[in-house]
Every structure is written in C-alpha cells, then in structure tokens.
Structure 1
Amino acid sequence: MKLSVSAWCLQEKLFGKEMTILDFIRFCHENGVKFVELLDCFLSGERDIKEVKELLKELDMKVSAYSISNDFVLSDSSDRRSQVEYMKKSMDTALELGTGIMRVFSGNNKDGMSLDMAEDWIVECFQEAAPLAEQKGITMVLENHGLLAGKSYQVKNIIDRTCSKALKSNADVGNFMLVNENPLEAVKLLKDQIGFLHLKDLKKVDLAEADSAEADTKECYTAIDGSVYQGAVLGKGDVPIPEIIAYMKASGYQGFLSIEFEGPGDPAEGTTECIAYARQELDK
C-alpha cells in the first residue's frame, strides 16, 4: 500500500492564500511523502498545472488522485449533462497530472427529491461517463459522502448498477461514522470494489462540552442520528484505523491510503502527526 496526503488537509491555508498548492507539495516532500492527492478547487488553469508538474518532477513525486466535486442530483437534465461534461473534461486533467485515479461524488440531496429518483440520476450519469473513462484508462472512485452515497451499501449499489470497471469506491473511513456505520464493516462490504481509501479520523463530542465556551468546536460534523463528531489526528479518534489498515493489508490491497485530516488546531501540525501515525501502522 502507498501513503498519500490530500491537499484538503491544508484547505484552510490554501483557501486563505497562506499557502499555494506548490507549498503543499513541498510540505509533503519535507515529510517524506511521495504521493499527493490534488483537488481541482486548488488549481487555476494550465499555468498551475504546468508548475505542479514541474515541481513534482523536480522532487520525484507523483499524484495519487485528482479529485473533483461533481453533483449529479439536479432536476434539470441539461444541468446533469453539464456535470457529466465537467467530469469528462476532468479526466484529461487527471491524465495530464499523471494519475489514472479521479475522486468523484454522487451529489447532494435536494428538497422534494426522492432517494430512488436521485440514485437513478447518479447511475445514469456515471453510465454516460464510464465509456470514456474506460477508453482513457481512468478509474473514477466514488466517495461515500452525504445521504445519497453515505453508507457502504449505497456506494456498492451505485457501482453495481453502473456496471463498469471504471467506477470503484473511494472508501472514506471517517465519513462512515457520520451515517452511523461501523467503518471496518463498511470497508469489508466494499473490499473488492475499493480503488482508493481516505484515512480520516473522527471523535464523538459530548454536546455539553461542545456548548461550553472553552471547547474547540471547529471541524465538527453532525451525524444522521444527531451525534456530533469532530475531526481528529489519526489514532486519536473513534475510527478503528489500525484494524482497517491491517484488514486492507491482509486483503491484498495495493492501492493508496490518502490522509485527509479535518481536525482543529494548526492543519500542518495535525497532518504531520497523521503522516507519522500512518507510517507507523503501515510498517507493522
């Protein structure tokens, strides 16, 4: 298995212009990480891509995945077609960056839309994009995210219905907590369809403490049962990270484990701790 770090770990600094995507790549290099997951929201055109490619070559690093933020849950069919075109165009960017893996979403639930209707649209759009992905050698990895593809069985159902080798799962082990699913059991269900894996930890927060003036409630998320979770450094939350890594290793998974830290505090420090922890677990 190969260790990667997602640029989303440092999204606060990237969106705040405290850091550039080149700074992020250098940060990973300084921490001994050879693979980086890049997001389209942090790349502004061909100039950025050219500079990224040059720096990656200079540092002997590679892109693990190129991540986009598509939404197929749109009532207007022309809007859905536009999202499919966005996905198809992004495949070329992924290849230009040197990766055949592209992280994708299903979409967000909207008022008045049934889950069955939304799933049909999601599958329809993936079926439209899949032939080009197969032709180009792209693997789209669907992240469990939100209500429409949050649980492992929902992800599996979309993949099974799409019927393409170009669509697999990006198992975000932290996100499973937000739909009250055991992350290890979710990974087991998706084992044969996992093409990428996000290492993310979350810790359940006591509501009384979260409401206190002294509590740091940054990076908190509400699960579907009303429980509140906060992002945490790997190994300090409630996600069974060691068990998941051990299971994936025993299952013969040879792909990427990409760190996605979303906890409070300085994101660079938190990410550095996550890298050290993940490396320790991978060495066992």
Structure 2
Amino acid sequence: MKISVSMYSVHKVVQTEGWSPVDFVHFAKSIQADGVELLDIYWKDKEKEIPEVLKEVKEQGLVVSAYDVTNNFVVESEEERMQQVEKVKDGIRVAKQLGTNIVRTFCGDLSGDLTYEDGQEWIVDGLKKAAEFAEQEEVYLAIENHGLLAGRSEQVEEIIAKVGSPFVKSTFDTGNFLLVHQDPKQSFDRLKKEIVHVHFKDFRKKDPSEDVNGFRSMKGEELIGTIPGDGQVDLGYVVNGLNENGYDGWLSIEYEGVEDPKEANLECVNRLKKLLS
C-alpha cells in the first residue's frame, strides 16, 4: 500500500494562502507522501493547470492517486441529474489525463421532502449512466460513504449492487462512519471486497469546553476531526484487514481537524508509515 494526501487535507491553507494544485504537489513531496489526490473544486483554469500539474508531479517523483468529483445525483430535475452524469464523465476524462484510474464520486444527500427511496433511485440511475463510460475507459467510480443518504456501509453496499458494474466500487472513508453512528470496523467487514480507494481519517468527540466548530452527526453530536490515532477509529484494524484482503492501492490522508494543516498532515504521514511498517 502507498501513502497519498488529499488536497482537501489542506483546504484551510488553500483558502488562506491561495495554494494552486502545483503548490499542493510541492507540499505533498515535502511531507514525503507517495502520491496526491486532486479535486475538481480547486481548478481555476483546468486546461492550463493540468499540464502544469503533470509536469510538477513527474519532477517531484509523485503520482496522482485519485481524482475527486463533487457530484450530487439527488436533485429533482432530470436535466440537473444529467448534468451531474456529465460532471462525472468529465471527471473520468480528467482522471485519464492525470494518469489515475480512480474517480472518487459522491452519491448525493437528502434535502426537503425527498425520501431515501427517491434519492437512491436517482443515484443508481446516474451511476449506471456514468458507469458505461467508466467501463469503456477502465476507470473506477469509487463511491465515498458521505452524507446522510449514502453514509452507512449497507447503503453503499446496496447502491453498488444495484448499479451492478465492475467499475463502481467503494472509497472507504474510515472516519465518516462515525457521523452516522456506525462502527468503522463493522463497516470495513461489510465493504472490504468492494474497496478500491481509502480515505485515512479520524474523529473524536468534542470537549464541551472547546470553542471550535466540528461536524454534526445524524443524532446531533459534534465530532472534531483529528490526527489519525487520536480519535475513535481503530485504524490498525482497517490496515490489517486491507493487508489480509490483498489490497495494494492507496491510503489517502484526508485531514479535517482544527490544528495547523501542514503540521497535522506531516504527522498523519508519519503515523501511517508506522502502521504500514
């Protein structure tokens, strides 16, 4: 297994210091990551920046581990849903340019009076349409357990099964299961055969004395992103399970805590190296 870092791990720095994807590649090399996970939300001029990123990645001896698309299939308009399908297809094209065969995808989230049944039907339909192109290009659409609709392992499992494509699999986010009150170990056991990409993440419960904003769980509990190993996720269990299952893909750090992102991501890399040694 190899260590990657997601550009979202330094989201605060991107905002405050105006980092470009090239700046991020420099940072990933400085903390001794093996690869970089890039996101569609950070391009300013995609056509111009992609060649620049590829040049920098090569010079730094890194690779692009995955490309993330911020799609949402849970919208009531069929026209809008088709736009989301095209967004995923564009992500597949960009991934091919970047040299990765992993596109992290979202499903969508519930809002208003929509039901889980409504949302799931639209998600499955959208993924089926996008999967036709993914199969042609041999690129995996790796669903992240994210949000209230597809945040639980059984929901991800059911959606993958209903789409029925060998190129629609799981981005296993180790921390997000806590936001839907599910044990990450049990979630891993359910999804381990579907995993083609991993987000290495952890959360802890917020101390009442802390003056920081965290993430609200489905039951209203507030969790704080933390350096992996300082929270509630048994990351050793996941890493050992991946080894036992023959997983040889990427472990991509996605830090969402309140500490300095540069220092936190360096510590994340160091801890993950220890787990893998």
Report if TM-score (shorter chain) is over 0.5.
yes
Where do 1:1-284 residues align within 5 Å?
1-44=1-44, 45-206=46-207, 208-209=208-209, 215-218=210-213, 220-283=214-277
Q: What amino acid is the match of 1:62?
A: V
Residues 39-88 of structure 1, C-alpha deviations (whole Å, 9 max, x = no match): 01112311111110110111121000000100000101011011101111
Unaligned runs of 5+ in 1: 210-214
4+ long deviations beyond 3 Å: none
Measured in 2, the distance between the counterparts of 1:224 and 1:234 equals 22
> Aligned with 1:110: secondary structure?
coil
Secondary structure at the counterpart of residue 19 of structure 2 = coil
CA shift at 1:20, angstroms?
2.3
8 Å CA contact 1:168, 1:194 repeated in 2: yes
TM-score (norm 2): 0.97
Aligned to 1:212: none
- The answer on whether the counterparts of 1:14 and 1:21 sit within 8 Å (CA) in structure 2 is no
CA distance in 1, matches of 2:58, 2:198: 25
Aligned residue identity for 2:238: I
| Consecutive unaligned residues in structure 2, runs of 5 or more | none
Comparing 10-19 and 80-89, the one that deviates more: 10-19
Distance (Å, rounded) in 2 between the aligned partners of 1:145 and 1:172:
8
Q: Secondary structure at the match of 2:100?
A: coil
**How many Å separate the matches in 2 of 1:91 and 1:130?**
10
Structure 1 Cα separation of the partners of residues 111 and 229 of structure 2: 35
Contact kept? 1:221, 1:228, Cα under 8 Å: yes
Q: Is the 8 A contact 1:159 1:168 kept in 2?
A: yes
Structure 1 pair 162/280, CA: closer, same or farther in 2 (3 Å)?
A: same
Aligned residues: 276
One-letter amino acid matched to 2:60: L
- Secondary structure of the 1:263 match is coil
TM-score of the pair, normalised by structure 1: 0.95
What is the Cα deviation at residue 256 of structure 1? 0.9
Deviation at 1:24, TM superposition (A): 1.2
**Post-superposition offset of 1:15:** 2.5
1:95 Cα deviation after fit: 0.5
How far 1:13 sits from its partner (Å)? 1.2
